[in-house]
Structure 1
């Protein structure tokens, strides 16, 4: 530093009474800036001893334009320290235009080639994001020193040009310039952004050799480097060896652990941090909220939220977004919304957190509303936004909306990466558009295991069992190795006895790979075997399972009940209770089904009492099942009691009670309840009219039956099924109106089934109408001859 500069520094670093007076003069002159500026000129021309202190004060206060104006007035001689203060202020405040004006003054003064001033020029341009200007400034330095090289390396690193930063570091070593602590920090940051593990470790060895490992800034950068390279434990080793740690050290290790889902360690370290007397800042809380989100630790998250308020830490957009994300992932979307509404400034991260949160919690419509608001705010959606939106469309089954979002992704030319592609495939599959899902899958430039699993599960869910199996075989040839999720999706494709052999082949592959012990796979195997009608195989899988959860027991109980093994279902339920497993609503649904099949009123009452004890007596679908169970057990009084005491009823509840009355010949009660249902504004379904028409048939109410059939078609727009046609034919036949029955059959818009003709044939025999009986028999023979196999086999096929 020149002697004159040192003298000025000594004189101006101690702001005494004269300096305070000068500061007040500078402040008052600022009001005149842009006017006469006499006061400002007077300060510059008559207070020379305090000129350096004056400019530095203005720069420290961010009043760069005023400082530059003083320097313009004082053209005769400006010390280099003045330029340094001004350059630092321009860089700190990212004032590129002012920085370029300052650069022009430096060029006039002939200091551009000076290593010290040049280094600060490079640093200023780097901080302002003008990397080309930084390069030009660096190249004009006549003899760059370590500060010059470091400034350029840091500028490259901060601008995302990490490779150039590393290349420059190598050039610096060739020039025999010894790096300092800030050089190592810049190069480590470049290695971290590239996840260049090998080069970073080589640098770590150089740092140890240089004796700088204990340097606070270098140690913090080493922790960050290892965390970003996925070696958080190596980062912890650096952290644990540090003699001195600041809040940055703690934040870096907390962020590292939070990033890789080690939420428990984050919370433990936070308490250790407090014990060591380190005061947390906003970055600390961002990491803490992320940890709570990964653990779904709502109470801990709420406590941290209170700590944030208590410590009066600024709720900036980053902290607010992390807090919203934490509440959303902890299933407290109301708290997330409250924080969002109170946030003064919101960025796209905050909006995304809400959209993703709503979509994950089955509130797709609110997610869509937020997306529309986001666009009205003028914010540009990101990949995360679109992923949240597509998941919302999937949960709503909103195919048109999903296609609209897909078109927006295409219009904005988003790269169809694996994550976005998988979300699109999943959305289309869940919206029953497997063709669109297949098109996206085929166009994906790269697919991972999730891609194949989503497509296989999509085919299986839509009943395309053959395509699911073919895709699985293709995956084995050219895709990744299947995992448990693959088999869970594939097994759902085998849902009838026709696919039993294919299901067994897949089971063999599962055993070969070693996934049979997987709990989810085991549960799906049980379900698959029951759907394929192989009860023994299902039982065998269940008995061989080392670990069983409530889903395993539920699958067995429901499977036994549906296949007519009610006693076995109840035995298994008792065994489940003995083993201490808590029954859920699905368990009781299977048990209710079993009791209904047994027609055991005593068992039914025991099960009902247990449902009450478990606090499930208000569940609508369980109450509906109880009504059906009591009806099958012959106790319509209990069935009606359940129906009347239900806090909420849906169409299934009404159907169960109407069917119960119809089943026991209580036609008046059944039809009265149906009319009450209509008055309540509950729209009947196909199954409702099956019960109503059956009741009319039993009572011989031909006119009423015809009226209800017409109402079903005209008033409710329900297309009649073969079951409805069967009820009407049975209605005419029971009333002896064989001509009406035949006319109805012949006028049907669909081909009559074998069962329908057999109903008519039985009625003809009962009424001794041989001619019509022969006609019915001819129709039956005609239908069965068009099918493969014998008439009896054809009949079985038709029933199936």
Structure 2
């Protein structure tokens, strides 16, 4: 009858370990691998206990590397290095399974020492050890050492994991062109290789390259999975490529890929950020279960589309389902209230979520409360939030208050906050423009000139407005006042006719923020060539009757373009969805979903 080991109680002191060890010795189980590893795991964490570990190892009847190898992956780097040094002192040479466990968490100096030991023990051509060393160098941002090791290794030592390790590591370091060179030279690729390269493009904002590579993967008949589908959907989201996003979604459904929480969130997020919140809701509502990130994504989607009631109703449904909100949920709920001007609801939900769910508000939450009060004209309440914040207000918080001062014409508070924001963020053109517009609205043209002079002195240029519109899977970009397009003459002519027709219906150009030294007629002309107007004109030329126009702008939509687009939607019988820097605007029948509150 075999002896029974004592129950594995937690070992917290060396005294407890000695007692446990003595019990194992009496039962004849001290040399059993599982029990021995438990003793070594405790001893290796403290250098003072290494002599004990050395004696334990020296008296072990079968001291093989396999006894200690599993520990290296669980110990902190310093303890793992100490245990390795103990092995070498006995001497007990590591084997080729030791290094793959040691290297992943090894800091650069230790990785270099292990590299030398690999060479000394002639394990440098062992594929798993080589792969672990490549990963360690790349994790330490030494892509030069990783590349040298990769290039000088024999072909027989490199496998698909080696090549993929280089691709993913270089992508993580932002070296996507180097990664693509390695990727193109791969003798064979697996799905991880494809996804690593596609993800690398996505994380560096090269969405078109990501989608082109995704198309190439599919054309070669490579069977995808949820990871690569998620990467492709994120690329569609970043590029505002709704048609491509729908195509990827169909591919997911036809391929039978499991819709896990991450993939479901990517689909919902794509539809929300491409202006199709109703499609996002249909996908969300059809899911069998929802994870927290999916709830957050849908609530946030409703929020940025100005559908406060839907966002709050979904949040209440989430609470009823027993899903605890997090700080992202709180931010989304506050954003929904801020975009709709629901001040009392925003205050109530802030208190409720913080108190009921124990969430500690962060700077962005206070910034959202400042935005909530500020948009509604309650500037004293907004300033009170800033004064009572437990941390220093950042640029987001102060910028929200400055924006509110501009909206409501509070020149005194706005001037003080504006110069403070510029001092904190001297190279951001938007800060100067907002302050200059505040002065312009008050007729303080000398101060407007001072702001512009300061921009010139600091070589800060105003960010040009850019608008994207997608047709047949192709995105066309238009810049304010500049048009390089094969249909430029037709687009300009349509823009002129478009404005002529809406003027006949009552549209009057808003020139309040135009340069003060221009005639009224000259002030109107630049407004005609704002990027979203050019994009809309192009859309009217190309789109089928009653087809929705979807436009993405890099800046906040101006008052004049907002008013003009309302008229265009009615006169031309078009629904127009504009995504600006802050939110979505759905224009239809002469109305906007924001109800002119943005």
1:540 aligns to what? 384
What is the CA distance between 1:435 and its match in structure 2?
3.6
Mapped pair 1:507 → 2:356: no
**Match runs of 1:292-371 below 5 Å:** 297=141, 300-309=142-151, 316-371=159-214
- CA gap of 1:589–1:332, structure 2 versus 1, over 3 A, is farther
- CA gap of 1:400–1:715, structure 2 versus 1, over 3 A, is closer
Contact residue 494 and residue 532 of structure 1 kept, 8 A? no
What is the CA distance between 1:209 and its match in structure 2?
12
1:85 aligns to what? none
2:447 aligns to what? 603
2:366 aligns to what? 522
1:254 aligns to what? 103
What is the CA distance between 1:440 and its match in structure 2?
3.5
**In 2, Cα distance between the equivalents of 1:725 and 1:220?**
68
2:414 aligns to what? 569
1:267 aligns to what? 108
TM-score of the aligned structures, taking structure 1 as reference length: 0.49
C-alpha RMSD of the superposition: 4.9
What is the CA distance between 1:449 and its match in structure 2?
1.8
2:480 aligns to what? 652
Paired residue secondary structure (1:586): helix
What is the CA distance between 1:503 and its match in structure 2?
0.7
Match of 1:555 among 385, 400, 403: 400
**Match runs of 1:401-480 below 5 Å:** 401-480=244-323
**In 1, Cα distance between the equivalents of 2:254 and 2:395?**
47
How many residue pairs end up in the alignment?
469
- RCO (CA 8 Å, sep 6+): is it higher in 1 or 2? 2
- CA gap of 1:614–1:287, structure 2 versus 1, over 3 A, is farther
Contact residue 460 and residue 492 of structure 1 kept, 8 A? yes
**Match runs of 1:189-228 below 5 Å:** 211=60, 215-224=64-73, 226=74
What is the CA distance between 1:251 and its match in structure 2?
2.7
**In 2, Cα distance between the equivalents of 1:293 and 1:402?**
33
- CA gap of 1:318–1:588, structure 2 versus 1, over 3 A, is farther
**In 2, Cα distance between the equivalents of 1:251 and 1:714?**
57
Contact residue 241 and residue 274 of structure 2 kept, 8 A? yes
Paired residue secondary structure (1:458): helix
**In 2, Cα distance between the equivalents of 1:349 and 1:496?**
41
Contact residue 292 and residue 326 of structure 1 kept, 8 A? no
**In 1, Cα distance between the equivalents of 2:187 and 2:452?**
53
What is the CA distance between 1:433 and its match in structure 2?
3.1
TM-score of the aligned structures, taking structure 2 as reference length: 0.64
- CA gap of 1:371–1:727, structure 2 versus 1, over 3 A, is closer
What is the CA distance between 1:491 and its match in structure 2?
1.8
- For each residue in 1:180-210, what CA deviation from the matched residue of structure 2 results, as whole angstroms up to 9, or x when unmatched? 99x979xx9xxxxxxxxxxxxxxx9xx9899
Unaligned stretches of 5+ residues in structure 2: 1-27, 38-52, 467-476, 512-518, 522-535, 547-559, 574-593
- For each residue in 1:32-65, what CA deviation from the matched residue of structure 2 results, as whole angstroms up to 9, or x when unmatched? xxxxxxxxxxxxxxxxxxxxxxxxxxxxxxxxxx
Paired residue secondary structure (2:216): helix
Contact residue 651 and residue 683 of structure 1 kept, 8 A? no
**Match runs of 1:159-174 below 5 Å:** none
- CA gap of 1:213–1:569, structure 2 versus 1, over 3 A, is farther
Pair member with larger Rg: 1
What is the CA distance between 1:502 and its match in structure 2?
0.8
Unaligned stretches of 5+ residues in structure 1: 1-176, 189-203, 258-264, 623-648, 656-676, 701-710, 729-746, 751-796
**In 1, Cα distance between the equivalents of 2:289 and 2:596?**
46
**In 1, Cα distance between the equivalents of 2:179 and 2:457?**
35
**In 2, Cα distance between the equivalents of 1:699 and 1:575?**
33
Contact residue 137 and residue 145 of structure 2 kept, 8 A? no
- CA gap of 1:405–1:179, structure 2 versus 1, over 3 A, is farther
Paired residue secondary structure (1:366): helix
2:47 aligns to what? none
- CA gap of 1:597–1:240, structure 2 versus 1, over 3 A, is farther
What is the CA distance between 1:457 and its match in structure 2?
0.9
Q: Which has the higher strand share?
A: 2
Q: Which has the higher helix share?
A: 1
Paired residue secondary structure (1:493): helix
**In 2, Cα distance between the equivalents of 1:401 and 1:537?**
45
- CA gap of 1:208–1:448, structure 2 versus 1, over 3 A, is farther
1:619 aligns to what? 463
